[in-house]
A and B are shown apart, each in its own frame.
Chain A
């Protein structure tokens, strides 16, 4: 297979397959969770479930002081690479073109050198997180192969994207094709791993807020 055939495949059938698995997997999993339902609570509510639930989705983004003290590194590094992923995926001009093609919407991009710098910072942050996971006794004890797989699948698009942009290590069509393939891998594994937290976080934060709100207490 020539490198252009490879590139055309990942831009064509490969992307179709990845998107189908991603969308089907996410929707089915979310549907399953939602349809579990909750047991009817016959007590009289002391406050609003929905209001507290929705508010908690936002407030949980800021950890409270004692939580932060316990896991300062994980929280800081985690924020850095999550924001980094947001910037590199959604605020980079060529990626915005991709979204425009698929969902029809587009928005302004950040200057490319800025995105480039953010990518580097994110990669460093993720490497630091891996080292921390492997050196901290508790984390190492708790980690499974899935944790390492998810880490790998998340950093690969960042690294291959950087390499494709800067043309490092192979010819241009091959680098671009590998980058797109790494994203397809991420999409395909998404519904079957803890990456689902990207969607389930809304459910769990809402739920925590809701049960507190029902009881009329702070969440």
Chain B
């Protein structure tokens, strides 16, 4: 159970309505990546945790990008959340562990993030299981 302790701290360098140091360069990087996707069909991934963002900047970036038409929840080694932002082609992928701590957060500029696609080894496995299911039991028993 988490307890929030009310904070008396105010930070003069909170991100506010203006684009602070990291937000604008990052938005430009996304713009370049989107152009690459259009012209060269090349996908890019930006690791949000690799940037030393000031308090409030990460939220500012997410607010700017917004939520678009598609959202998906994964259940693989803990939850993962994938959604397309209000800019099609720009996706946000957030990985959580079992304790709902964030273990990874990426901006993926792509037609579809790879993690959403079914993976070949898993498909191979699925086929084998289905074969086994049909071999051992007749369908009429269900």
A–B direct contact (CB < 8 Å): no
